[in-house]
Structure 1
Amino acid sequence: MAEPLALGRRPGVIPGFGMTLGFTLAYLSLIVLIPLAGLVVRAASLGWADFMAIALDPRTLAALRLSFGVSAIAALVNAVFGLVVAWVLVRYDFPGKRIIDAVVDLPFALPTAVAGIALTALYAPNGWIGQYAAMFGVKIAYTPIGIFIALVFIGIPFIVRTVEPVLADLDREIEEMAATLGARRWTTVRRVVLPTLVPALLTGFALAFARAVGEYGSVIFIAGNIPYVSEIAPLLIVIRLTEFNYAAATGVATIMLIISFILLFAINLIQAWSRRRLG
């Protein structure tokens, strides 16, 4: 006679939960937790006074403000236009759809340095697009505007590929039912479609934001790297390392880690709340 199952324990189709969980924890610890813990321990050895001096340095504050501010704005813009792109790819059939679908993934496959050089060639004052912007007194490259364009470029696939499968699984009969009950198109989108896509949009926003904050290769070419103007935090870390100022590099990296963790944790809380609210 088979032994009764332990209270609260459900049998799985594939055995080995304990082994796979142990492997997961060990793998994440070796790849993620231990390096981050080493960074925090190294920063803790600086002492509170030295750490705060690095954190409150005007150049550090300017770089952090630029990195996180422009990354958040770029992720928000991508959330809007990425939703539109995903909607077009899922809901409509048209010539060249496969080509557009492949173009969305280009920022994934393209080396970041190549992307940075290409964007700089386009938006520099003598570039194909930058020369026309300069006629109106607008400078794109070597300014925060150029950084914003680069971060939008590398972040769009995260929104599209996160929202696309959720939108594809959304039953059109629900939209048709809303229209039958007298709901207008915008009301149907606002009350039926968007609430279902909110968790996926938040996930895509978090991924695009996290990628943008740590982006380096595609930004340094178009940014110009001017201190207090267009110098991003990852570049400041590299500069401190080239100066053999490991304490300052560790301090800036730790500050970025703390801010990123707080923001991503808050986004995950909002995402969990939206899922519970929407059932």
Structure 2
Amino acid sequence: MRLNFGILKRSNSPIPGFGLTIGYTVFYLSIIVLIPIIALFTEAFSMGFDTFIKATTDSRVIASYKLTFATSFIAAVINTIFGLIVAWCLVRYTFFGKRVFDAIVDLPFALPTAVSGIALTTLYSSQGWFGQYLEPLGLKIVFTPIGITVALIFIGVPFVVRTVQPALEEIQIEQEEASASLGASRWQTFYKVILPTIFPAVLTGFSLSFARALGEYGSVVFIAGNMPFKTEISTLLIITKLEQYDYAGATAIAVMMLLISFMMLLLINILQRWSSKRKGMEAI
């Protein structure tokens, strides 16, 4: 019997080197991403399923989950709102020092996270530039969840700005002019014309900022204080268990964080794809 393997043939590509590049891609992603994740899951479940569940549902661990996801979500929402405003100003307006402000947006990318953590702790401590005025008002930042949120906002804002900025630049000014000529107000033009166009980019910026905040350690460790049940996020708890040579417990928490993050990012991606399809149907 003769088998037909025609379906396995790849289409001809105008760019040579397909076999080499796809092989390198698979090898690189396997070494850098896939194999470490497999090793993480293998180590976590080597302790047994019951022990894994016990290690990941401890009251201290649950408290770290709640704090991590709550502060990361709040920081991502704030970054999405104000990152959109910053991107709008950088795209739509010309003003003195615009290039400087555009470069400042990338500063959290360049700064080591430990440096940003020390800087924020210095600013918001009881003797800091801002803290000395905030604490008499009853607003304590350092060693509180508020301080963790501030640190996550600092490291996450570039992801939103740099994602939304190109989407705003691609919007044709004629669309806004047509909306205005039909009697729409500025708010209606933004809400019904501009926002649907940039919404997938906004969702992408939110998901990137949220994902970055979930795994943040360096900028949080100084301002959080690492107090169990109060200011101990999951990454800090993982480091604590590693220092106690509890490698299985650390990997178990890491796997649970990874699974929850995958689920949340999957939901965001589904929403983003739905938004893109809806936009395409409206365009037709």
Structure-1-length-normalised TM-score: 0.95
Paired position in structure 2 for 1:220: 221
Q: How does 1:83-98 map onto structure 2 within 5 Å? A: 83-98=84-99
Percent of matched pairs sharing the same residue: 56
CA distance in 1, matches of 2:11, 2:185: 46
TM-superposed CA distance for 1:22, in Å, is 2.4
CA distance in 2, matches of 1:7, 1:58: 52
Name the SS of the counterpart of 1:13 in structure 2. Answer: coil
Q: How many residues align?
A: 275
TM-superposed CA distance for 1:144, in Å, is 0.2
The C-alpha deviation readout for 1:73-125, integer Å capped at 9, x for no partner, is 10011001000000000000000101100110000001111100000001012
The C-alpha deviation readout for 1:149-193, integer Å capped at 9, x for no partner, is 000000000000000011011101100111011111000000000
Paired position in structure 1 for 2:169: 168
CA distance in 2, matches of 1:231, 1:44: 24
| AA matched with 1:98 | R
TM-superposed CA distance for 1:18, in Å, is 3.5
- RMSD (CA atoms): 1.6
TM-superposed CA distance for 1:239, in Å, is 0.5
| AA matched with 1:107 | P
CA distance in 1, matches of 2:155, 2:28: 28
Structure-2-length-normalised TM-score: 0.93
Q: How does 1:128-277 map onto structure 2 within 5 Å? A: 128-277=129-278
Paired position in structure 1 for 2:62: 61
Q: Which runs of no fewer than 5 residues in structure 1 stay unpaired?
A: 1-5
Q: How does 1:47-126 map onto structure 2 within 5 Å? A: 47-126=48-127
Paired position in structure 2 for 1:3: none
CA distance in 2, matches of 1:200, 1:224: 35
The C-alpha deviation readout for 1:198-253, integer Å capped at 9, x for no partner, is 11111111111111010000001011111100011111001001101111111111
| AA matched with 2:277 | R
TM-superposed CA distance for 1:269, in Å, is 1.1
CA distance in 1, matches of 2:9, 2:163: 33
Q: How does 1:8-23 map onto structure 2 within 5 Å? A: 11-23=12-24
| AA matched with 1:137 | G
TM-superposed CA distance for 1:49, in Å, is 1.1
| AA matched with 2:127 | N
